């Protein structure tokens, strides 16, 4: 009899908990504001995608979404903020490939990227573009490698910051090509591009969205794209792996919508559908084309597997033997 009462009590508690979560999800987002944390400064590709996503998801949910730029430390400042946020679906996070790299370049982080976040889906992905200042006497990836070997430590490459995808795309290129260029970190892609065009640094590999305007204006010399295949947005440019005969080199940046772990599953499902709706909108498709981006929409579990795989791969590259 005592066991029966205990079982009944557990069932009642389980049902009440279920109904509580279901009611919370049904009422979401309610009157509470939704914030999308973008972990990089305004003006870069992550910010452009974040603002576009916020607008289109807001239309799908009939609820405004405010973008909160929390840049710093290669995207880890914003990640730490979201990891501590209440998991109620009102704080969203636009993560990037940089967040799979961060655990291997920082001695410690105030969050666990795999355990403290739940992926909703990929929003977009795009390659980077290897480019040089027009005055540098190189016209191909092979030329650049030859020049760098002949002038060790004399070339500077810029990035959007330590641990950014710009930084890691170049570091991986250096390793695969067996060359050494000095890293100059900036606070975002825009100041980096200003110095690359002005000649204060010689090399850069920004995301395709940042590269479009200077490439079209011929203010930089584009050499190749970092993806596995040529990009239709940069006709005539080869891939780095083909141009330099580096079969182990490919690099793309992805942008994923995530939430704090523990966010109710029904809320996550609504967010996923909102992103899918946003990606189908003509405005979103047009805007992604302007930044040379490919739309996402992959299921959450697939994104989760991608994050685990890339985190492990970067650990092997940056912390071999550990």
Together in a domain, 146 and 288: no
Q: Kindly report the pTM of this predicted structure.
A: 0.81
Asked whether residue 157 falls in the same domain as residue 238, the answer is yes
pLDDT per residue over 71-81, tens digit each?
A: 888 889 999 99
Of the pLDDT bands very low, low, confident and very high (cuts 50, 70, 90), residue 161 is confident
As beta bridge partners, residue 158 has 184, 204
For residue 10, is it within any domain?
Answer: no
Please check whether residue 27 lies inside any domain of the structure.
no
- Do 270 and 121 lie in a common domain? yes
Residues 174 and 109 placed together within one structural domain of the fold: no
User: HEC profile for the chain?
Assistant: CHHHHHHHHHHHHHHHHHHHHHHHHHHCCCCCCEEEEECCCCCCHHHHHHHHHHHHHHHHHCCCEEEEECCCHHHHHHHHHHHCCCCCCCEEEEEECHHHHHHHHCCCCCCCCCCCEEEEEEEEEEEEEEEECCCCCCCCHHHHHHHHHHCCCCCEEEECCCCCHHHHHHHHHHHHHCCCCEEEECCCHHHHHHHHHHCCCCEECCEHHHHHHHHHCCCCEEEEECCCCCCCCCCCCCEHHHHCCCCCCCCEEEEEEEEECCCCHHHHHHHHHHHHHHHHCHHHHHHHHHCCCEECCCCHHHHHHHHHHHHHHHHHHHCCCC
Are 268 and 261 spatial neighbours (Cβ–Cβ below 8 Å)?
no
**pLDDT at position 90 over 50:** yes
Assigned domain for 263 exists = yes
Last residue of a domain, one of 224, 243, 262: 243
Largest CA distance in the chain: 88
Q: Is 248 domain-assigned?
A: no
Task: Give the pLDDT band of residue 6 (cuts 50, 70, 90).
Answer: low
User: CATH number for the domain including 208?
Assistant: 3.40.190.10
pLDDT for 202 beyond 90: yes
What is the total count of domains within the chain? 2
What distance in Å separates the CA atoms of residue 62 and residue 30, rounded to the nearest whole number? 11
Same domain? For 271 and 287 the reply is yes
- Confidence check: pLDDT of 129 > 60: yes
Query: Does one domain contain both 257 and 234?
Result: no
| Residue at a domain's end among 243, 262, 288 | 243
Last residue of a domain, one of 215, 243, 271: 243
Q: Is 313 domain-assigned?
A: yes
Q: Which residues of 38-56 are buried (b: 16+ CB within 10 A; e: fewer)?
A: bbbbeebbbbbbbbbbbbb
Supply the range of the domain harboring residue 151.
129-243
Q: How far is CA 166 from CA 37, 138, 157, 187, 264, in A?
A: 20, 20, 9, 12, 34
Asked if 207 and 231 sit in the same domain, the reply is: yes
- Rounded Cα distance between 175 and 30, Å, is 50
Asked if 46 and 118 sit in the same domain, the reply is: yes
pLDDT band at 16 (very low <50, low <70, confident <90, very high): very low
Q: Are residues 229 and 300 in the same domain?
A: no
Provide the pLDDT for residue 144: 98
pLDDT in tens, 107-128: 899 999 999 999 999 999 999 9
pLDDT of residue 319: 84
Q: Is residue 12 in some structural domain? A: no
Q: Do 81 and 163 sit in the same domain of this protein? A: no
Statement to judge: residues 155 and 237 lie in one domain:
yes
pLDDT band at residue 25 using 50, 70 and 90 as cut-offs: low
Tell me the pLDDT tens digit for each residue of 171-195: 999 999 999 999 999 988 889 999 9
13 occurs within a structural domain: no
Q: What percentage of the chain exceeds 90 in pLDDT?
A: 77
Residue 242 has pLDDT above 70, yes or no: yes
List the CATH number of the domain containing 312. 3.40.190.150
Q: What percent of the chain has pLDDT over 70?
A: 91
Is residue 50 in some structural domain? Answer: yes
User: Is 317:174 a contact under the CB 8 Å cutoff?
Assistant: no
Residue 85 and residue 158 in one domain: no
Residues 6+ apart with CB under 8 A from 304: 119
* Closest to 210 measured CA to CA, from 228, 230, 194, 223: 194
pLDDT, tens only, 270-297: 999 999 999 999 999 998 998 889 999 9
């Amino acid at each position: 009899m005592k066991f029966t009462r205990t079982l009944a009590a557990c069932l009642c508690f389980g049902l009440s908990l279920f109904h509580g979560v279901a009611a919370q999800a049904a009422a979401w987002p309610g009157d509470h504001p939704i914030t999308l944390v973008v972990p990089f400064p305004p003006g870069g590709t992550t910010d452009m995608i974040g603002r576009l996503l916020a607008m289109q998801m807001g239309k799908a949910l009939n609820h405004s979404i405010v973008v909160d730029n929390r840049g710093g430390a290669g995207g880890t400042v914003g990640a730490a903020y979201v990891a501590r946020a209440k998991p109620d679906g009102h704080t969203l996070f636009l993560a990037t490939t940089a967040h799979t790299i961060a655990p291997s370049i920082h001695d410690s982080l105030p969050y666990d990227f795999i355990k403290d976040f739940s992926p909703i889906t990929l929003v977009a992905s795009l390659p980077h573009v290897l480019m040089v200042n027009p005055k540098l006497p190189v016209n191909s990836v092979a030329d650049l490698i030859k020049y760098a070997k002949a002038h060790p430590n004399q070339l500077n490459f810029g990035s959007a910051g330590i641990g950014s995808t710009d930084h890691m795309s170049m570091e991986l290129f250096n390793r695969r090509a067996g060359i050494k260029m000095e890293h100059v970190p900036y606070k975002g892609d825009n100041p980096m591009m200003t110095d690359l065009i002005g000649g204060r640094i010689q090399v850069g590999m920004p995301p395709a969205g940042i590269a479009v305007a200077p490439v079209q204006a011929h203010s930089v010399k584009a050499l190749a794209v970092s993806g596995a295949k040529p990009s239709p947005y940069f006709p005539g440019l080869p891939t780095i792996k083909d141009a330099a005969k580096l079969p182990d080199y490919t690099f793309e940046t992805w942008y994923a919508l995530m939430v704090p772990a523990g966010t109710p599953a029904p809320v996550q499902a609504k967010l996923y559908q909102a992103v899918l709706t946003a990606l189908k909108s003509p405005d979103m498709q047009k805007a992604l084309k302007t930044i040379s981006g490919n739309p996402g929409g992959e299921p959450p579990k697939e994104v989760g597997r991608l994050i685990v795989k890339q985190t492990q791969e970067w650990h092997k590259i940056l912390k071999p033997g550990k």
